Structure 1
């Protein structure tokens, strides 16, 4: 594994993760109805930190391999959708719009997992927790939409 590539991919992940610091859940999110199985608040930074380490590892393992073009393109797509979801959900409070982003995030993570798996067993394995977590996040996003049908998006004209 190339440690410089790992650092570059991890930096991209930290950039995506920084959206969580900028667009924090806040009181409005705490006041929403959520399913009983919603993970505790402390789990999110722990899980995301672990996932970002794993997907950076996976990308660094396959980046220099012949035939890694699709894996790298899908990695770039997933980190872009990853970075987009938080501002749409928490920043704009457009939970239905976040569901659309989530579909593309899930598909790009799945594609990246498959592409990585075809190139390197360990890179594919490292993507498994990510697809699980994004699946949970997608189902949670859908559940919050269903449990809060009257929630209005942030009114940007007042800001």
Structure 2
């Protein structure tokens, strides 16, 4: 049951993409050559959200994981916030700030999770890698589309 609560939280974050789609504004932006094809984004995010739910569930089974679970909650809130700020409000600088905070929260979450359970830390690592790519894309867009 606990896994499904985390999955529901991830689904809620993912649903922001249903309301704030990339659309014409995003398509018109100058983007770097390393921008993944559009089909990669839903595949990557589906995988990441499943891993996040699994990691969240695992954390509930580990004594002393309260701080990591609080970071989990913070990251899902920041994750959810990024989409309406970037695609909805089209505020590229503000979305870069959110993404930077998100990256920091996830990095700390992984370090602390690794101290409690290496497997859980490793489950979260692809998320940090994806955020590195997302940060590079966001920064490129910010610098190239003033």
Give the TM interval when normalised to the shorter protein: over 0.9
Q: Partners in 2 of 1:63 and 1:129 — Cα distance?
A: 20
Equivalence for 2:16: 19
1:143 aligns with 2:140: yes
The gaps in structure 2 that reach 5 residues or longer are: none
Q: TM-score, normalised by structure 2?
A: 0.97
Indicate the residue corresponding to 1:105 in structure 2.
102
State the Cα distance separating 1:64 from its structure 2 match: 3.0
Task: Tell me the C-alpha RMSD between the 2 structures.
Answer: 0.7
User: Counterpart in 2 of 1:45?
Assistant: 42
Q: Which moved more, 1:108-117 or 1:22-31?
A: 108-117
Q: Per-residue displacement from partner, 1:64-112 (whole Å, max 9, x unpaired)?
A: 3211011100000000000000000000000000011011100111111
The yes-or-no answer on 1:131 pairing with 2:125 is no
Residue-pair matches, total: 146
2:117 aligns with one of 105, 108, 120: 120
* Residue of structure 1 aligned with 2:72, choices 55, 70, 75: 75
Contact 1:55 1:127 in 2 (8 A): yes
Q: What stretches of structure 1 of length at least 5 have no aligned partner?
A: 150-159
Where is the helix percentage greater, Structure 1 or Structure 2?
Answer: 2
Counterpart of 1:36 (choices 33, 38, 44) is: 33
Equivalent pair of 1:58/1:116 in contact (CA under 8 Å)? no
Larger Rg: 1
Alignment partners' CA distance in 1, 2:68 and 2:6: 13
